[in-house]
Amino acid sequence: MTRPGTRLFTRSDIRRLLDLDTCIAAVEAAFRAHAAGTAIPPGVLGTHVAGGGFHVKTAGLGGDHPRYAAKINANFPANPARHGLPTIQGVVALQDAADGRLLALMDSGELTALRTAAATAVAAKYLARPDSATVAIIGCGLQGRYQLRALRRVLPLRRVLAWDDDRDAARAYAAEMSAGRDIVVVPAADHRSAAREADVIVTCTPSRTPVLSRADVEGGTFVAGVGADSEDKSELAPDLLAASTVVTDLLDQCARIGDLHHALAAGAMRIEDVHAELAEVVSGRRAGRTRADEVTVFDSTGTALEDVAAAVAVYERGLAEGAGLEVRLGD
């Protein structure tokens, strides 16, 4: 019996094969599997270099066809302006967790953008007010675009306040994201005032100093901090986390590299003050939002649980459709 070789999936392949609804469902299922103990525990390794860094993230899913994924990502925030390259570049390797076969190699930039936005949407299902209508997007790059598209799958959003420290980027975002859509997107002059008007706030910046504090967030708001994925990045001030119901994607990881890391270092919080991991909320072990006036924060550092879920979805659909280039690396 000839087994399939390794399939290569490009960025355009992933865009065609993985829609946001499928990705959101796959990511939610992966967190539920993590809570049930049927996932291979996630791991992470980071390396800093001049102008950016690299990280390796791993995790797996069990079941009848267990899968394991390892992602190597490069993150260079100045790439678009300096080199005309994406901020995030890399590769995801998907393997059979029963026999070790290399099933697929795929572009990580598109996959990361999709699965990160999907994780925010999953968190919003449980932590945002279900009538949330206004969202502030702070950071108008590729991730800001996917965040809005994913959130619209789970919330009745009608108005978007878009802010970026590059005002041209915010104006371009507003024009693109409102074109042909039943939603009003306007560039915001000030990110703090935009945040105070919003029911939902997403920060997706490379900031190394907090962009929001407790005074910038009204009661009842859901905040997703997406940009802090290394110990030197910071978007949400310790006083905001200390005054909020905090849910992490992975507690240990957020304590090392997320906004939670800075709140702990400042003495504003203890590990025991964290309400839950997202897996616990998705599985029903811990409550999500319990009050209309509650401020909820999702500290999203990114986990390979999301990567393996998205990669499996790409691989299975690609295999069924004969998509991707098949190679045999062992020949």
3-class state of residue 294 by DSSP: coil
Sign of CA dihedral 195, 301, 148, 282: negative
CA distance 295 to 318: 40
CA distance 204 to 239: 19
Determine how β-strand 159-163 pairs with β-strand 134-138.
parallel
> Which residue blocks in 10-107 are alpha helix, DSSP H?
11-17, 20-36, 79-83
Q: At how many degrees (to 10) do helices 304-321 and 108-127 cross?
A: 120
* Catalytic residue status for 71: yes
Under 8 Å CB-to-CB from 121, ≥6 apart: which residues?
20, 24, 150, 151, 153, 154
- The CA-based angle 266-268-272, given to 5 degrees, is 115
Q: Which of 57, 71, 125, 233 is catalytic?
A: 71
CB neighbourhood size of 285 (10 A):
11
Give the catalytic positions in this structure: 71
